[in-house]
Amino acid sequence: DQQVKQNSPSLSVQEGRISILNCDYTNSMFDYFLWYKKYPAEGPTFLISISSIKDKNEDGRFTVFLNKSAKHLSLHIVPSQPGDSAVYFCAASEYRGYQKVTFGTGTKLQVIP
Amino acid sequence: NAGVTQTPKFRILKIGQSMTLQCTQDMNHNYMYWYRQDPGMGLKLIYYSVGAGITDKGEVPNGYNVSRSTTEDFPLRLELAAPSQTSVYFCASSPQGVNTEAFFGQGTRLTVV
């Protein structure tokens, strides 16, 4: 049962354009959402997060949107840069005695110069 | 500031052998986690710890053991390696258990033959 789904395994975008990465979830108990970025042979690094009480959070070129009614999350990168090429993981958490985090399968973003 | 350090980076084990994956963090985080990532999949939680002396099972604990004798160290033990344990293992830590991002190590790529 995949509670966090990233249906696009890969995405290619021209440098300078917008990258939109999507994520859907099924568990209505998730109350905190995160995006991680992962380069090859490295561990994931935190990118941006959003609480379930918000619908938007912005940090520089990165914006995360949350649509709770649709159980949908998206990450916008504007403008996209070649250094953004990486695998992006969507993650959702609920508190069950600890912060139980469920990860999506990742979307590989390629930004073409 | 080294963050989360994992050793070794790569290892090949024969079926039935045992080994310990080391993880140490220098950020004084209470929470530590072990994840595994199989090809094309998201990260799955193996074990977690909310502080020294306290550990608990995650989603996929079978075949693994952990200990947490200090705040800094959280080793993962494989007693009888099986091919199904071929994976990339990530250790992570976070300052608290709720609504916070995790800091990941670089990962250990383990192959069981």
Residue A21, pLDDT score? 98
Please say if the pLDDT value at position B1 is more than 70.
no
3-class DSSP assignment, residue B60: coil
Q: Is residue B109 part of a domain?
A: no
Mean pLDDT of B101-113: 95
Please say if the pLDDT value at position B22 is more than 80.
yes
Q: Is residue B72 part of a domain?
A: yes
**Complete edge-to-edge strand list for the sheet that includes strand A72-77:** A4-5, A19-25, A72-77, A62-67, A56-59
Q: Is residue B112 part of a domain?
A: no
3-class DSSP assignment, residue A38: strand
Q: How far is B103 from chain A (nearest CA, A)?
A: 7
Q: Is residue B51 part of a domain?
A: yes
Q: How far is the C-alpha of B5 from the C-alpha of B25, rounded, in Å?
A: 6
Residue A103, domain CATH: 2.60.40.10
Q: Is residue B111 part of a domain?
A: no
Contact A106, A89 (CB under 8 A): yes
Q: Is residue B105 part of a domain?
A: no
Residue B76, domain CATH: 2.60.40.10
Q: How far is the C-alpha of A82 from the C-alpha of B91, rounded, in Å?
A: 28
Domain of B94, in residue numbers: 4-99
Contact A112, A85 (CB under 8 A): no
Domain of A71, in residue numbers: 4-112
Nearest alpha carbon to residue A66 among A98, A94, A90: A90
Domain count for chain B, please give it.
Answer: 1
Considering CB atoms only, which of A46, A95, A106 is closest to B42?
A106
Domain count for chain A, please give it.
Answer: 1
Mean pLDDT of A12-32: 97
Q: Is residue B113 part of a domain?
A: no
Q: Is A45 an interface residue toward B (CB < 8 Å)?
A: yes
Considering CB atoms only, which of A31, A41, A44 is closest to B104?
A44
Nearest alpha carbon to residue A72 among A7, A14, A1: A7
Please say if the pLDDT value at position B97 is more than 70.
no
pLDDT digits (tens, 9 = 90+) for A54-68: 999 999 999 999 999
**Closest-approach residue (CA) in chain A for B105:** A43
Residue B84, CA atoms < 13 Å, CB-side half-sphere: 6
Chain B residues with CB under 8 Å of A107 CB are none
Q: Is residue B110 part of a domain?
A: no
